Amino acid sequence: MSTIQSILQRSLFIACLLLGQFALAQINNFSPLTADQTIELSTPNINAAIQEDKSNDLIKTIPYRFGIKIPCNYTPQNGGFWNKSGDNYNWQMRIHAKDAKSLHFNFSYFALRSGESIFVFNDSKTIVYGPYSNLNNSFDSLFSSFLIPGENINILFQSKQKHQNSFIIESVTYGYRSIGEFVLKNFGASGACQNNINCPIGDNWQKEKRSVALILVNGNGWCTGSLLNNTLQDTIPYLLTANHCSSSSYSNWQFAFNWESPGCGTQLVPLSNVMAGATYIASSALSDFLLIKLNNKIPDSFHPYFNGWDFQNIASDTVVCIHHPSGDLKKISVANNLCQDSSYFNAFCWKIGQWSNGVTEGGSSGSPLFNKEHQVVGLLTGGPSYCCSAIQDQHDYFGKFAVAWNADTAFHKQLKYWLDPNGIANNNWNAFDPAPITTYSGDAVTLLSCNQIQGIAFSCADSNSVNIHFKNNGTSILNSLQFVYEINQQAANIVNWSGNLKPGQATDFILYSLKAYQPGTNDLKVWSRLPNNNQDVFPSDDTLSVKINYIFGASLKLQLKTDDFGSETRWEIKNSSGTLFYAGGPYTDLAGGQTINENICLIPGCYQLSVEDLGGDGMCCQNGNGSFKLYNSTNKSILSGSQFTCSIQGNFCVNANGNESIENVINQDIYPNPCDKQLILPKHVKQVQLFDPLQHEITLEVDNGILDTSTLKNGVYLIVFNKNRIGKLIIQHEY
């Protein structure tokens, strides 16, 4: 991570810690209510919502929905329990909603008196929001709390008097899609092609990222917005988002700043910089813009950054979008092609012809589009792009800042009146950084990320390699550095780096042949020391710790003897889900043919080898005596062929030894297989890992030798027993 971000995180940690300690000190004397004191919330029609989401998730002209509001009417008069502690009257209420991923309160009336406060928290008090006070009151008396993960939510109201009329809870949002750091739907919910803002691609956008906020819209949806500077530079918290995200009130909107993974990997982080409530300023459908003003000044501890802007109607050949796709951690997308004039749902837009890196998704709506001068020139209106979209659909539309500026003359339908009240801007205006993060001259190194090079942690050797991305945050050129790493808390190893890294620059360094991996989950810790043979006076950002799930691969060899026309020969190996692992050909035409040897390393599983001859006469015998053979690690042929027409396919399964069919292992150990809802495990099994066809690990609970498989989709899975027994499991539900 950059120094800016690392110091930001330290500041946020301190701020969050102080707030948490203050809040906990006020609620620690109050135990969560018991089950018989709990209100049971009805479960909404989740299946209907999921069916709607299948189409709505691809539409960026509506907020990304994650929850359903359950109507209610709770006040201190008709719900919860009162007690008195010292000089305070305390009212508590606890709600349970079966299978909810998250819960939060929506208030139709919120008018706290001076000295009154509200806390919202989970049962364990590890997540506490508050104290909410009269500072959170709004002109329309609406308010929403932020999300609490899981099926239970608690509220505590404290007052000097036993007031019954300070608030009304009109609904509870039932989160049926998991949110943020709470469960792994929105944490990592966006597509695999998205880039975390603190990946190397975001190195030059570390200031602008501090302007971007995740918006909780109307209590049940996500959009993205960004802060804008004005020519008075008085830090009025103007925030730009999309008009199609708008609602009848903004008092119950919530804004989360600085929610991002600290490195390039997806690392769990808390939502700590949250603000509540905003006021409508201006909007127009001509460019789909909405300008709102946060109800309170943004704390300096958030380190807000107010973006510059350009209202010229000039197409840029390089643009950047910073956003929260699907309500996920902050991402960055880049397009290195000329923007085009276009329209989208009658809004005047810049069309991004094709993204070069990353895309946008539902939840990205309203996110800023930056030109190469780092000025805002648009906001996301919509478009068909997503990670798995076809090439022709990898484009999006951004409402033009130039149109939003003053295309409409009404003050409440333009940006100019608010951002340039004295009319002094000439085409553009620079950003404003009122609370910059101090860069320490002695902070020589910041480790940004540590990534498995192969993506999937498997190898046919007892070692692997990782990539270290680090940055020079000092004031001198960095010429030497030591990296120290340890695996599973075993003996540390030292690797020396040398180079010429200028201040502010970042680079990569590969740690090769890391040994001591074991099958299963491994703990890798990497840290740096002795920059230029000196001490780093700010070493707290010099260490990274990651978990790598490691599986020993199967070592095989493919031998091809081409016929005279090697240019006609092609081959490929795919797994059972169709993912391509290896491919080869075409080869050179040569009388008598040639021999090709390919070393292959595969993760344990089932595969198909396909060999193709474009001439339609196979590899033998009209034009030579060609053939192919696939050998396992003991040099035993497991597939072979020569005489065919256009193509030939062969299926095979391998375990970590590369020489045993997976079915032979699995059938001896578990049943039933295929399996429906429950899998019976042998007594010796103490630990189980499951991997889907894309090699994603799945965690399931084992209860008295029974593995509940009812939540798995139909298909073929890799199952690992006790970290060393590997087999194939078929899930086939009986509907």
Q: Which residues are catalytic?
A: 244, 288, 365
Distance of CA 719 to CAs 299, 316, 455, 502, 530, Å?
A: 49, 50, 19, 47, 44
Q: Where are the beta strands (DSSP E) in 1-80?
A: 39-40, 64-65, 67-74
Nearest one of 185, 179, 201, 73 to 127, comparing CA atoms: 179
What token pair was written down for 715?
A: 């298909």
- Total residue count of the chain as it appears in this document: 735
Longest dimension (CA), the chain: 99
Residue type, 91: W
Token pair recorded at residue 311? 């209202």
CA distance 607 to 115: 67
Q: Is residue 307 a contact partner of residue 226, using CB atoms and an 8 Å limit?
A: yes
CA nearest to 4, candidates 210, 287, 200, 265: 210
DSSP string, 152-218: EEEEEEEESS--S-SEEEEEEEEESS--TTTSTTTTT-S-TT-EETTSGGGGGGTTGGGGEEEEEET
SS3 label, residue 18 = helix
Find tokens 């840290």 and name the residue. Answer: 527
Spatial distance between the Cα atoms of 537 and 444, rounded to a whole number of angstroms: 8
Q: Are 595 and 601 in contact (CB under 8 A)?
A: no
Q: Rounded distance, CA 222 to CA 245, Å?
A: 9
Strand ordering across the sheet containing 478-487? 458-459, 543-552, 520-529, 478-487, 493-501
Q: Could you give the CA distance from residue 8 to residue 26 in angstroms, rounded to a whole number?
A: 27
How many angstroms separate the CA atoms of 146 and 582, rounded? 47
Pairing of strands 697-698, 627-631: unpaired
Cβ-contact 649, 609 below 8 angstroms: yes
**What is the identity of the amino acid at 20?**
G
